[in-house]
């Protein structure tokens, strides 16, 4: 898309002086990049390269790092906590990306298509705000809210269960390794659900109502119209939501820090908290850097793959 307009624009600006002026002016604009590039070098590029370098050393954070080659990485492969953190992340991707996307599609379709049209757009937008509210909270605050509700001794959930005579269901939600990860998953679904609902509802506004009416005349039911038309047309939003929520899941730290500190044992350990422990609690900086590097590689690969898929499907739609 961009390339085709550029190709078209160039012959228009075809006169030689104009082209020369443009080239000169391009050079003049580069000055504006200096502050941003300097800042990125100092805060992002140099630290990132340092982190990769440190991952090949043994270092306590003081003194001289000792070069040990790939030892940290081979140690990772045999570290039970490392594998546990990535197994837990897969569960959290289900809770933060897959479930909210699927639920979000259904909720957005019902809110936009049914509530918005049959009952009124005002009701639809009030309900939408309700679903979105958890998203505005700082992640640490969601941890505080749920840490209290699920607390085994003074938490609200167990107190409510006892009140209604269901004491048998009361659990140590975050302290029992059998339930901790599932509890965190439910919390993350609660936290994330508003984002896909808002994104998909705004995408559905692009769907031409005439297309729907035509399909209805052809005898397509609500579900068929939703599946064949709506999902197809809001594909860009679905991709954006899946990429951003998957990456958010890979990076999760705040809720884990406040709710469980990765525990009990390693039942809710995640890579970012695992790296944090090695950096700041165990002073195994080289090992922590190796974890962070692996996480970075996974995120960058995922981002590139997703962007490729998105670009390809956009091209296909143009044809």
Partner 1 sequence: MNARLSRSAVLAVLTLLVIVVLSPFALVALNAVKSPAEYASGGPLSLPDSLYFKGLADFWIRVDFGEKLFNSFLISASVAVLAVIVSILNAYALGIGRVRGRGAFLVFFLLANLLPQEALVYPLYYLSKEVGLYNTQLAVIIIFTAIQSAFGTYLLSSVYTAFPREMLEAAAIDGAGKWRTLWRVVVPISWPSLSVLFTFFFIWTWNEFFLPLIFLISNDKQTVPVALGVLQGDRMMDATTTSASALLGIVPAIIFFLIFQRTLTRGVMAGAIK
DSSP character at residue 30: G
Q: Minimum CB separation from partner 1 for residue 156, in Å?
A: 4
Separation of alpha carbons 233 and 204, rounded Å:
8
204 vs 229, beta carbon nearer partner 1:
204
11 vs 28, beta carbon nearer partner 1:
28
Q: Minimum CB separation from partner 1 for residue 260, in Å?
A: 10
The structure tokens listed for 2 are 């961009």
Other residues' Cβ atoms within 10 Å of the Cβ of residue 295? 20
148 vs 177, beta carbon nearer partner 1:
148
Separation of alpha carbons 117 and 123, rounded Å:
10
Cβ burial, residue 179 (10 Å; 0-12/13-18/19+): middle
Q: Which residues pair with 67 in a beta bridge?
A: 57
Q: Minimum CB separation from partner 1 for residue 94, in Å?
A: 19
196 vs 229, beta carbon nearer partner 1:
196
Q: Minimum CB separation from partner 1 for residue 288, in Å?
A: 7
Q: Minimum CB separation from partner 1 for residue 38, in Å?
A: 10
Separation of alpha carbons 276 and 295, rounded Å:
13
Q: Minimum CB separation from partner 1 for residue 78, in Å?
A: 21
The structure tokens listed for 200 are 């998909």
98 vs 139, beta carbon nearer partner 1:
139
49 vs 214, beta carbon nearer partner 1:
49
Which of 99-118 are b and which e, b meaning 16 or more Cβ less than 10 Å from the residue's Cβ? bbbebbbebbbebbbebbee
């Amino acid at each position: 898309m961009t390339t085709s307009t550029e190709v078209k624009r160039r012959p228009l600006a075809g006169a030689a002086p104009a082209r020369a002026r443009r080239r000169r002016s391009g050079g003049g604009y580069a000055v504006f990049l200096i502050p941003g590039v300097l800042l990125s070098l100092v805060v992002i590029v140099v630290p990132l390269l340092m982190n990769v370098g440190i991952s090949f050393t043994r270092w306590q954070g003081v003194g001289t790092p000792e070069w040990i080659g790939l030892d940290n990485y081979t140690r990772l492969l045999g570290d039970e906590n490392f594998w546990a953190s990535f197994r837990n992340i897969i569960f959290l991707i289900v809770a933060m990306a897959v479930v909210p996307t699927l639920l979000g599609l259904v909720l957005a379709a019902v809110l936009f298509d049914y509530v918005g049209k049959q009952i009124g757009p005002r009701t639809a937008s009030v309900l939408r705000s309700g679903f979105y509210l958890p998203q505005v909270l700082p992640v640490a605050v969601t941890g505080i809210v749920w840490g209290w509700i699920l607390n085994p001794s003074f938490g609200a959930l167990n107190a409510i269960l006892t009140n209604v005579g269901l004491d048998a269901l009361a659990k140590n939600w975050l302290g029992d390794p059998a339930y901790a990860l599932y509890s965190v998953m439910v919390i993350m679904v609660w936290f994330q659900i508003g984002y896909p609902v808002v994104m998909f509802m705004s995408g559905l506004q692009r769907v031409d109502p005439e297309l729907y009416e035509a399909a209805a005349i052809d005898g397509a039911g609500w579900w068929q119209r939703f599946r064949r038309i709506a999902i197809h047309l809001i594909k860009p939003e679905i991709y954006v939501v899946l990429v951003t929520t998957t990456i958010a899941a890979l990076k999760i730290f705040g809720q884990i820090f406040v709710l469980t500190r990765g525990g009990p044992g390693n039942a809710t350990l995640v890579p970012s908290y695992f790296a944090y422990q090695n950096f700041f609690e165990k002073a195994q900086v080289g090992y922590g850097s190796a974890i962070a590097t692996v996480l970075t590689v996974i995120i960058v690969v995922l981002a590139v793959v997703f962007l490729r898929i998105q670009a390809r499907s956009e091209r296909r739609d143009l044809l």
